[in-house]
Amino acid sequence: MMAFVRQVLVIMSKDLRAELRTKEAINASLSFALVVLLLFSFAFDPSEETTREISGGLLWIVFAFAGTLLLNRSFARELENDCLDALISAPISGAALFLGKALANYILVLAVELIALPLFGVFYNVRWTSQFWQLMMVIALATWGMTVTGTMFSALTVNIRLREVMLPILNFPILIPALLGAMQLTSALVAGKPITADNDAWLKMLIGFDVMYTAVSVVLVETVLVGG
């Protein structure tokens, strides 16, 4: 077990170092998130109550598309110098490789979201800190679900010429339950309403989504990588 954890941490640290050295994906993702948030703020009047009601949905649309820019590079960066073949041939399990990359992607996507969140509050005149810890919990759960499925589809489409197009086409339909739950909960939380028995079904769905797709991805990733 300790050997498996070490392998996961090695892959995670390798991916984080590779991204922080170039910063190409995280810069593109963050720039996209900020530009789209700014454009949406011009399209919708922040002073209107309707805008505040849909702000959670707008936020997760931005997060989903910005996250895709990061997730697309997860396995694509390994194509140079046959690094992907070397990783597949290395004496580590596919599950360790997948979880290491998923954790690295999770940290990077979460960093982009946490930078964009205060600007979201400014652009849309939303006091998003009123239910701060519950909002952080929802963001953490929804981002993990988005990262797990995105990392899996990144592995699946890595050898496809149009992988930048295929990843969102494959990933977004799968993400509908998680994004729907995240949007509903975020809209309530930024309005100052805590998670109660009336809407905790969305939270349970988020947790179930994360557990189910993490388990499925860990089981299938070996087949996906070797088959690819």
Per-residue tens of pLDDT for the chain, all 228 residues: 788 889 889 889 988 988 888 888 888 899 999 999 888 888 777 666 666 778 888 899 999 999 988 888 777 777 666 677 677 777 788 888 889 999 999 999 999 999 999 988 888 888 888 889 999 999 999 999 999 999 988 888 877 777 778 888 888 999 999 999 999 999 889 888 888 888 889 999 999 999 999 999 998 888 877 664
Q: What is the DSSP letter of 228?
A: -
Instruction: Please state, in angstroms and rounded to a whole number, the distance separating the CA atoms of residues 202 and 185.
Output: 7
- The Cα 227–Cα 31 span in angstroms is 35
Distance between CA 151 and CA 70 in Å, rounded? Answer: 10
